């Protein structure tokens, strides 16, 4: 009788004559790639636009760069602060610093205000109303790398210390005396790069430790705890240089944040896939003496579920490539490609390692057949202990679920729907700097500006109008709008005098959601004002930080509306092809979508009421949706594969379900704890966005592990009876 193709695959990967070859090929491949190609973390981080060029804030920025050269480039804002008031000597030193920069410009330095040419009293007049703060900008080329900008800040620090005789950047804000902080886009960019550069090593170490601890506690085998880490570690050594060469050649844009999350994803999901095969191998070793035959059978029974689980994750994460928002789009390739390579390692390298180690992998609790246990007992002159029934607890859970499915559906549904309803109360923010630690230099600089200048001065709105050659000045009409605090004198373009610039200070925090609403209203109001001047068809653009945040919100919401349904449809089709059961495929998608909203609600309770965060980062809904939907279906596929196998073997409907829960419950619970634990590692980082993402995703995985997969899904399959298998007539019999 011919062997099953997957059984042949198991023999090829982990057989007596091939196992060492497979391991050697992986090691050689990883070594060659590391030698030839750069690691992904050595490539320069992407620092371009996040929003497409068709949006008004981006178009306004380009016009300003072209028409108002003094405002062009990426600004570094140096915030100077002295609680008791900045002195004339402080201002004189600042002028001397700017004179030095004018005579010896920094690499990439484009323009800066001529503070050194102004009378001291004139510059004193630009201080905050309380006289305690001053903001002085320097503009750098948009093409300059973060590494060069970071070196520039170091040189600036040295020049400042030489001029002032002290380093005001190191002084704590609560101390007396002069303080200085680097802020604005340049300061934020450098701080963000430093945060993620240190985060990668910290993440990998913490992830490895938490996986080791969980595996040791659950399986009590030191060798078994190391095996998944070795497999995923070698896979990462292949993934990193391949992504590095893609980024170096411009095929993808490197995103430090994406790389950080990818590390967690690969070790968490990769370990899960390893456990699916390892657990099945252990079960086979209890009934089969020959370790190679047992391995081939384990590969046959687990590889299909592993491949389909990995495929749903790869496809789900790849849908991020449809996004318009830059950060979403940059996540697609690292995530999907990383999982693809890791999944391939699990079905090739892992069988080879298990083929080498055999039963030793499970030491000191070595799985043996009953005959081998009897022989071992006789050899040691000990009585043979009765073998305990496998999976007793999860079998009991399965029997309860199939005996009282409606009770399970009502209770589990009430918990999930209650948490999902909480998600309607979530408040979102759209500014990057709120994710930074409060003691980070760029955020402290922003705090100085916020506390010492009027709200609108933080980030003025830039309104550009094409006058079409008509005499126009709408400064007063803009100033009369209810949300405007101040409008500076109109300026005209240097190359096109028909372009006017109005700098508008809002009367509220420009980074607030209310300010974004004001900018949305401003579009209507400006259109009306221009119509009053017979300029109905005249173009106008709104730039500045508030407008950029509004565009970010619009783009992200658009991405959610596109990617979420596309991902649901694609994964539904994959499930339908694999399971060939329409009703069950629909059930699975509905339950994981409900668990996503439940995770969002539960995550908000923890983030808002537990950690005291005022709002959730705007990117969290899509990030967590993609991960929870894809990873949640992993566990469902593995469990349902066993239920379907039982039905093919002629087991009765309810018995097939309870046995499916029993045989997969322990490994899926272990896998869920590991995956949730690895995502919770993100909560240890000083970046609010990653903290929130880690919490929401971990909560979603735990809900899938302990509520959706062992209770709700099998209860629904029980209730639908044989219709759960429709139109698969073989399983309906």
Query: How confident is the model over 128-134, as a mean pLDDT?
Result: 89
Question: What are the tens digits of pLDDT across the range 325-377?
Answer: 988 899 899 999 999 999 999 999 999 999 999 889 888 888 887 777 677 66
Q: What is the DSSP letter of 543?
A: E
Q: What is the DSSP letter of 386?
A: P
Q: What is the DSSP letter of 178?
A: -
Residue 512's pLDDT is what? 83
* Greatest mean pLDDT among 74-83, 189-198, 230-239, 431-440: 230-239
Question: What are the tens digits of pLDDT across the range 147-188?
Answer: 888 999 999 999 999 998 889 998 888 888 899 999 888 888
Tokens representing 72?
């062009």
Q: Inform me whether the pLDDT recorded for 1 exceeds 60.
A: no
Confidence of residue 142 (pLDDT cuts 50, 70, 90): confident
- The Cα–Cα gap between 469 and 223 comes to 78
CB 500 within 8 A of CB 464: yes
Residue 458's pLDDT is what? 67
CB 615 within 8 A of CB 428: yes
Cβ count within 10 A of residue 69: 15
Query: How confident is the model over 584-605, as a mean pLDDT?
Result: 92
Tokens representing 32?
């060659």
- The Cα–Cα gap between 76 and 113 comes to 12
Higher-confidence residue of 589 and 72: namely: 589
Name all domains of the chain by residue range, CATH numbers in brackets. 1-36+221-386 (1.20.1640.10), 73-191 (3.30.70), 389-442+557-733 (1.20.1640.10), 460-543 (3.30.70)
Question: What are the tens digits of pLDDT across the range 273-325?
Answer: 998 899 889 888 888 888 989 999 999 988 888 888 888 889 888 999 999 99
Question: What are the tens digits of pLDDT across the range 194-228?
Answer: 776 666 677 788 888 888 988 888 888 899 999 99
Please enumerate in sequence order all residues whose Cβ is within 8 A of that of 708, keeping only pairs 6 or more positions apart, or say none. 412, 416, 591, 592, 594, 595, 632, 636
Classify residue 386 as exposed, middle or buried by CB count within 10 Å of its CB (0-12, 13-18, 19+): exposed
Q: Is 534 left (phi over 0), alpha (psi -120 to 50) or beta?
A: left
- The Cα–Cα gap between 56 and 497 comes to 20
- Between β-strands 484-487 and 540-543, what pairing exists: parallel, antiparallel or unpaired? unpaired
Question: What are the tens digits of pLDDT across the range 718-729?
Answer: 999 888 888 876
Q: Inform me whether the pLDDT recorded for 498 exceeds 60.
A: yes
Q: Inform me whether the pLDDT recorded for 730 exceeds 70.
A: no
Confidence of residue 390 (pLDDT cuts 50, 70, 90): low
CA 489 to chain centre: 43
CB 242 within 8 A of CB 337: yes
CB 551 within 8 A of CB 311: no
DSSP bridge partners of 499: 466
Residue 340's pLDDT is what? 94
CB 98 within 8 A of CB 40: no
CA separation (Å) from 575 to 194, 245, 569, 713?
Answer: 42, 34, 10, 14
Q: Which of 173, 181, 116, 115 is nearest to 153 (CA)?
A: 181
Question: What's the pTM value of the predicted model, to 2 decimals?
Answer: 0.84
Residue 389's pLDDT is what? 62
Residue 411's pLDDT is what? 94
Residue 581's pLDDT is what? 87
Residue 641's pLDDT is what? 85
Question: What are the tens digits of pLDDT across the range 429-461?
Answer: 887 777 777 788 888 888 888 888 876 776 889
DSSP bridge partners of 78: 136, 182
High-pLDDT (> 90) share of the chain, %? 37
Helical axes 5-14 vs 326-357, angle rounded to 10°: 70
Q: Among 67-76, 103-112, 419-428, whose mean pLDDT is lowest? A: 67-76
CA 551 to chain centre: 20
Residue 697's pLDDT is what? 92
Higher-confidence residue of 312 and 601: namely: 601
Residue 71's pLDDT is what? 57
High-pLDDT (> 70) share of the chain, %? 95
Tokens representing 94?
């600042």
Question: What are the tens digits of pLDDT across the range 39-56?
Answer: 888 787 776 678 898 999
Q: Is 184 left (phi over 0), alpha (psi -120 to 50) or beta?
A: left
Tokens representing 641?
């594969």
- The Cα–Cα gap between 467 and 537 comes to 10
Classify residue 356 as exposed, middle or buried by CB count within 10 Å of its CB (0-12, 13-18, 19+): middle
- Farthest-apart Cα atoms in the chain, separation: 107
Confidence of residue 64 (pLDDT cuts 50, 70, 90): confident
Confidence of residue 555 (pLDDT cuts 50, 70, 90): very high
Q: What is the mean pLDDT of the chain?
A: 87
Query: How confident is the model over 675-679, as a mean pLDDT?
Result: 89
Classify residue 663 as exposed, middle or buried by CB count within 10 Å of its CB (0-12, 13-18, 19+): buried
Q: Which of 295, 300, 273, 272 is nearest to 284 (CA)?
A: 295
Residue 202's pLDDT is what? 77
């Amino acid at each position: 009788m011919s062997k099953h193709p997957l059984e042949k695959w198991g023999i090829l990967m982990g057989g007596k004559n091939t196992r060492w070859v497979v391991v050697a090929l992986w090691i050689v491949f990883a070594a060659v790639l590391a030698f030839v190609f750069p690691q992904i973390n050595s490539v320069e981080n992407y620092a371009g636009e996040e929003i497409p060029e068709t949006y008004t804030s981006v178009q306004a920025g380009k016009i300003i760069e072209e028409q108002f050269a003094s405002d062009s480039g990426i600004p570094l804002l140096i915030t100077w602060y002295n609680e008791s008031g900045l002195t004339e000597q402080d201002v004189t030193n600042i002028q001397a610093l700017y004179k030095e920069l004018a005579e010896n410009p920094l690499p990439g330095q484009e323009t800066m205000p001529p503070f050194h040419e102004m009378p001291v009293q004139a510059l004193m007049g630009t201080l905050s109303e309380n006289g305690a703060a001053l903001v002085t900008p320097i503009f750098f080329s948009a093409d300059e790398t973060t590494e060069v900008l970071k070196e520039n800040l170091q040189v600036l620090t040295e020049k400042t210390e030489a001029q002032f005789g002290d380093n005001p950047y190191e002084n704590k804000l609560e101390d007396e005396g002069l303080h200085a902080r680097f802020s604005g886009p340049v300061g934020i960019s450098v701080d963000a790069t430093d945060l993620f550069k240190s985060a990668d090593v910290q993440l990998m170490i913490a992830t490895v430790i938490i996986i080791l601890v969980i595996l040791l506690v659950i399986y009590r085998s030191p060798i078994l705890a190391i095996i998944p880490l070795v497999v995923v570690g070698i896979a990462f050594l292949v993934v990193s240089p391949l992504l590095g060469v893609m980024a170096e050649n411009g095929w993808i844009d490197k995103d430090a944040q994406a790389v950080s999350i990818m590390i967690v994803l690969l070790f968490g999901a990769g370990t899960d896939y390893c456990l699916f095969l390892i657990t099945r191998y252990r079960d086979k070793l209890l009934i089969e003496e020959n370790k190679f035959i047992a391995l081939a059978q384990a590969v046959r029974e687990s590889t299909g579920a592993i491949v389909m689980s990995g495929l749903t994750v790869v496809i789900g994460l790849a849908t991020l490539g449809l996004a318009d928002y830059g950060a979403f789009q940059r996540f697609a390739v690292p995530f999907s490609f990383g999982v693809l390579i890791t999944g391939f390692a699990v079905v090739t390298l892992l069988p080879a390692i298990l083929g080498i180690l055999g039963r030793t992998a499970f030491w000191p609790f070595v799985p043996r057949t009953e005959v081998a246990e009897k022989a071992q007992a006789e050899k040691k002159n000990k009585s043979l202990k009765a073998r305990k029934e496998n999976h007793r607890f999860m079998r009991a859970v399965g029997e309860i679920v199939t005996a009282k499915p409606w009770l399970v559906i009502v209770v589990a549904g009430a918990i999930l729907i209650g948490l999902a309803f909480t998600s309607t109360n979530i408040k979102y923010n759209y500014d990057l700097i709120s994710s930074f630690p409060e003691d980070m230099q760029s955020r402290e600089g922003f705090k100085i500006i916020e506390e010492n200048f009027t709200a609108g001065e933080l980030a003025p709105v830039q309104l550009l109008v094409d006058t079409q050659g008509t005499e126009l000045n709408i400064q007063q009409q803009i100033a009369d709008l209810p949300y405007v605090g101040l409008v500076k004198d109109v300026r005209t373009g240097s190359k096109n005098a028909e372009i006017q610039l109005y700098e508008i200070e809002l009367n509220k925090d420009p980074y607030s959601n209310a300010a974004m609403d004001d900018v949305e209203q401003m579009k209507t109001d400006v259109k009306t004002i221009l119509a009053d001047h017979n300029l109905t068809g005249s173009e106008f653009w709104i730039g500045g930080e508030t407008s950029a945040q509004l565009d970010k919100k619009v783009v992200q919401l658009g991405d959610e509306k596109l990617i979420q349904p596309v991902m649901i449809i694609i994964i539904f089709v994959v499930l339908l092809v694999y399971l060939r059961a329409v009703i069950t495929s629909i059930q699975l998608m509905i339950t994981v979508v409900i668990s996503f909203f439940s995770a969002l609600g539960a995550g908000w309770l923890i983030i808002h009421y537990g950690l005291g965060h005022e709002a959730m980062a705007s990117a969290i809904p899509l990030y967590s949706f993609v991960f929870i939907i894809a990873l949640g279906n992993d566990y469902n596929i593995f469990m349902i594969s066993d239920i379907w196998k039982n039905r093919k073997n002629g087991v009765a409907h309810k018995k097939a379900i309870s046995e499916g829960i029993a045989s997969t419950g322990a490994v899926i619970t272990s896998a869920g704890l590991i995956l949730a634990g690895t995502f919770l590692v993100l909560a240890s980082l000083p970046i609010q966005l990653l903290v929130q993402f880690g919490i929401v995703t971990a909560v979603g995985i735990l809900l899938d592990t302990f509520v959706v997969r062992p209770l709700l899904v099998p209860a629904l399959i029980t209730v639908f009876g044989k219709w759960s298998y429709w139109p698969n007539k073989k399983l309906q019999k």
